[in-house]
Amino acid sequence: MLNSKVENALNAQINAELWSAYLYLSMEAYCHSEGLSGIANWFHVQFQEEQDHAQILFNYVVSRGGRVKLEPIAEVPTEWPALIAVFEHTLNHEQHVTSLINNLYNIALEEKDFATQSKLQWFIDEQVEEEESVQDILTHLRMIKDNGYGLYMIDKELGARVYTQASPLSATE
């Protein structure tokens, strides 16, 4: 059974993951409006992954006898001055999520909640991948600057991304 401090922290993270999904859906809409359907696809996959992250934590809270408490989703940005700003925002957001996960892990550590620590290890590893992926895209965008052909190539590359259900969900269902 979860103690209240861990349960509250997990609920905060569930809600943060849902907000992240909403943010990426907004970024997808922005990219569509800019004619970048491939990059919009990349953000759609991000949207799906964030929903998975929320569901993993949701399932975990339920499995430990806790109660999930969903909060209203706060407003997200809908406009950016340029595509590179969208990815800079994405990197900053992923770094923020990493700090949230690290803080959640620290709470589980302080509370000697070893099961939650174990569950959170997947999220810690996932955040390393998330930050690296966005940093790679930013590096490429900075290299091409305003080169239309380069942007076309990145749009095509990111359009090939395919959603794969997060392993903690596929292992339990």
pLDDT in tens, the chain (173 residues): 899 999 999 999 999 999 999 999 999 999 999 999 999 999 999 999 999 999 999 999 999 999 999 999 999 999 999 999 999 999 999 999 999 999 999 999 999 999 999 999 999 999 999 999 999 999 999 999 989 999 999 999 999 999 998 888 876 54
> How does pLDDT run across 63-78, given as a tens digit for each residue?
999 999 999 999 999 9
Count Cβ neighbours within 10 Å for each residue of 150-166 and write b for 16 or more, e otherwise.
ebeebbeebeebeeeeb
Q: Which domains does the chain have, with CATH numbers?
A: 4-167 (1.20.1260.10)
The pTM assigned to this predicted structure is: 0.94
Of the candidates 124, 61, 60, which has an alpha carbon nearest to the alpha carbon of residue 98? 124
Tell me how crowded residue 85 is: count the other CB atoms within 10 A of its CB. Answer: 12
Tell me how crowded residue 53 is: count the other CB atoms within 10 A of its CB. Answer: 27
Alpha carbon distance 130, 169 (integer Å): 18
